[in-house]
Amino acid sequence: MRVGICDSNQMPDSEGRAAERIWRAMPAGTREALARGLPSADLRTLLIAVARTRAGQVTPADVMRRWQHDRFVRPAASDPRRVTAVEARLWQLLPAEFAGVELSPVTPLGTCATVAPVSQNRVVTTVRTTEVVSDSTNALAVEAAARRRDQPKDGHCHLACCHRVLRAQVFGPGSAPHFRLFALVSSARDSGSGRTEASMLTRHLAYWLEVLETLIPHRQPRIELSVFDDQVLAERLADTVRPGLAARTAECTAERAAFLVDRPERIRGRGYYTGFALRITADQGEAELGDGGLTTWTAQLTHDFKERCLVSCIATERLTALA
């Protein structure tokens, strides 16, 4: 399982070929009508009617068969009592400046693909012009953008949520398509010289450092920091973020300082994240727990290119397994 969805956005060749085969078998004009011709409301009505007809043909035996074999509907393997306890601790550690948000299970169609280079093929789409939340940081960024529009230019927004996400791509043996993420999103207007980015980075990193030191200090946790071709951000990381983290921690131990590791050679996430990315791991980097970085999402959503956005998250079920 990859915590982030900043991988390739290409549809697998087999699925692309299958889709083309189906389109060719349908009456001429069907593709144009369904994809672009019908008004959204009419298409929604049509798809709901089709779903209702198909649902009426389903038998209890069909439901049991799908329950056993459909990877999207199988329950998670984690113990909810343990996961809930860990998530409660995460909320307790969260600074008051972060407002908690309880997301809907669905978000507007195209939420991921609109702001990030992610194929809709990786998202579970509904027939009601919505999609199941596949990355809570995307949905949280939309909420942050909505709140920022009601704030003064020099305002800021820090949000947090804990949500189960569902992704359509196959992660590999033993990996589930749905899992819980504890996510942070911060958005504020650029104040020049990387100061806004540095302030948000200090907030997020300070929180994740405390989480790691509190819950899994024995699992050799670390946060890998990668700057993507941005000298200003590299300077702020050295002269502002790291000193700021030390200042925020009354007992800044050598062990905590060792949690931060520079990874300038990182390639994954370039183009998805802008200027900076982070990766949260344990067990000498073997266990990936979380991901994040600077994005243009709230800038796109507010139509303000000066808006800066930082997202980060951790998979709580993976964290629970190591705690």
Tokens of 298: 């709230």
Which amino acid would we find at residue 278? L
CB 1 within 8 A of CB 171: yes
Give pLDDT tens digits for 253-309: 555 666 889 998 998 888 899 999 999 999 988 899 999 999 999 999 999 999 999
The whole model's pTM is what? 0.89
Tokens of 133: 């939340």
Which own/partner contact pairs does 293-298 have at CB distance under 8 Å and 24+ positions apart?
293/269, 294/197, 294/233, 295/115, 295/116, 295/141, 296/115, 297/115, 297/116, 297/138, 297/141, 297/145, 298/141, 298/144, 298/145, 298/148, 298/187
List the chain domain ranges. 13-69, 80-322
Q: Whats the size of the chain, residue-wise?
A: 323
Torsion of CA 264, 162, 168, 8, to 10 degrees: -20
Report the first-to-last Cα separation within the chain, whole angstroms.
Answer: 19
The pLDDT score that the predictor gives to residue 9 is 47
Contact residues for 40 (Cβ-Cβ < 8 A; gap 6+): 129
d(CA 67, CA 62): 8
The pLDDT score that the predictor gives to residue 156 is 93
Residues of the chain scoring pLDDT < 50: 1, 8-11
The H or E element spanning position 181 is strand 178-189
CB 255 within 8 A of CB 217: yes
Q: Which of 293, 319, 322 is nearest to 137 (CA)?
A: 293
Q: What is the architecture of the domain spanning 80-322?
A: 2-Layer Sandwich (3.30)
CB 91 within 8 A of CB 163: no
Contact residues for 323 (Cβ-Cβ < 8 A; gap 6+): 82, 86, 215, 216
Beta bridge partners of 161: 183
d(CA 136, CA 162): 8
DSSP, residue by residue, 98-146: SEE----SEEETTHHHHHSS--GGGS-B-SSSEEE-S-HHHHHHHHHHH
